[in-house]
Amino acid sequence: MKTIGMIGGMSWESSRFYYEFVNRRVQEILGGSHSARCLMLSVDFAEIEEQTFDGKWDEMGKRMAVYARQLEAGGAELIILCTNTIHLVSDYIIEATKLPFLHIADATGSAIKSSQIGKVALLGTRFTMEKDFYTKKLTEEYDLEVCIPNASERQIINDIIYNELVRGQFKDYSREQIINIINRLQGEGAQGVIMGCTELPILIDSLDISIPSFDTSKIHAHKAVEMSLKGQKV
């Protein structure tokens, strides 16, 4: 079993689920009292948030590269970044070490293709929805049609994420707003929805909507376990 290195804390609200997901998945596969070999470097999200809104992506990338090297020095044998948005600077992580890096959009794209869905809605921060680091990978590498909310809806979702979810606030009114957005996108042909912010599945249960939802944090964590156990007899 390889040691999974996780860059977390973005936010800690969702990173705690990564720890649970990898350990439960290893136990499901190996049985007994087995658990995951993992390291998590959890960062101060306020610093990340400030650089994000200031558009200091190069500085952010250099910061992530440092974290990746710290995980490598600690014994990690593969790396995952426990957030969607900050994958915008994932190239810095890839270049910082020789360790395998699992991109969250690769894990998600593979899961969607396996479900036979062709058109999917993407919800997340404004950066995830509007920049092409996520949608380009899904469309070009996984042949998916990706639709995103309109401008006013993107602002609503972004505000809910940064003003509520990352601070541990999960409000019924916000849940209703996002469900309404998903329902509208379903009316435009979306066959499924990507919860492209790791806090969104905490707010929106799959039972709240009538199309399949893709929990990127769980998908990402489970794929990391698959990589960790590759070649191991189970």
Q: For 52-96, what is each residue's pLDDT tens digit?
A: 999 999 999 999 999 999 999 999 999 999 999 999 999 999 999
Task: Pull the structure tokens for residue 45.
Answer: 């999200």
Q: Is residue 234 part of a domain?
A: no
Instruction: Assess whether the previous peptide bond of 228 is cis (omega < 30° from 0).
Output: no
Q: Give catalytic residue positions.
A: 83, 197
Note the pLDDT tens digit of each residue in 15-56.
999 999 999 999 999 999 999 999 999 999 999 999 999 999
- SS3 at position 126: helix
Q: What tokens does 50 get?
A: 């400030």
Does 57 reside within a domain? yes
Predicted confidence at residue 207, as pLDDT, reads 87
Q: Pairing mode, if any, of strands 213-215 and 78-81? A: unpaired
5 bridge partner residues: 39, 79
> Contact at 8 Å (CB) between 150 and 95?
no
Query: Residue 212 is encoded by which pair of tokens?
Result: 């399949």
Q: How far apart are CA 199 and CA 188, in angstroms?
A: 25
**Is residue 89 a part of any domain in this protein?**
yes
Structural domain count of the chain = 2
Per-residue pLDDT reduced to its tens digit, 90-138: 999 999 999 999 999 999 999 999 999 999 999 999 999 999 999 999 9
Same domain, 92 and 141: no
- The answer to whether residues 127 and 95 belong to one domain is no
pLDDT tens profile 151-200: 999 999 999 999 999 999 999 999 999 999 999 999 999 999 999 999 99
Tokens of 64: 């992530």
Domain region containing 16 = 4-103+219-229
Amino acid found at 175: R
Tell me if residue 91 falls in helix, strand or coil. helix
CB neighbourhood size of 229 (10 A): 18
Give the contacts of 168 (CB within 8 A, at least 6 positions apart): 13
**Burial 47-72, CB ≥16 within 10 A → b, else e:** ebeebbeeeebeebbebbbebbbbbb
* CA–CA distance, 51 with 63 (Å, rounded to integer): 10
In contact, 34 and 26? CB cutoff 8 Å: yes
For 123, phi then psi, to 5°, come to: -115, 140
In CATH, what number is assigned to the domain containing residue 211? 3.40.50.1860
- Is the four-CA dihedral 45, 50, 53, 56 of positive or negative sign? negative
Whole-prediction pTM = 0.94
In a shared domain, residues 109 and 162: yes
- Do 125 and 197 belong together in one domain? yes
Check: CB of residue 178 under 8 Å from CB of residue 202: no
Helices (H), the chain: 12-30, 45-54, 57-73, 90-96, 104-114, 126-130, 132-142, 151-163, 172-187, 200-203, 216-229
**Residues 209 and 224 occupy one common structural domain:** no
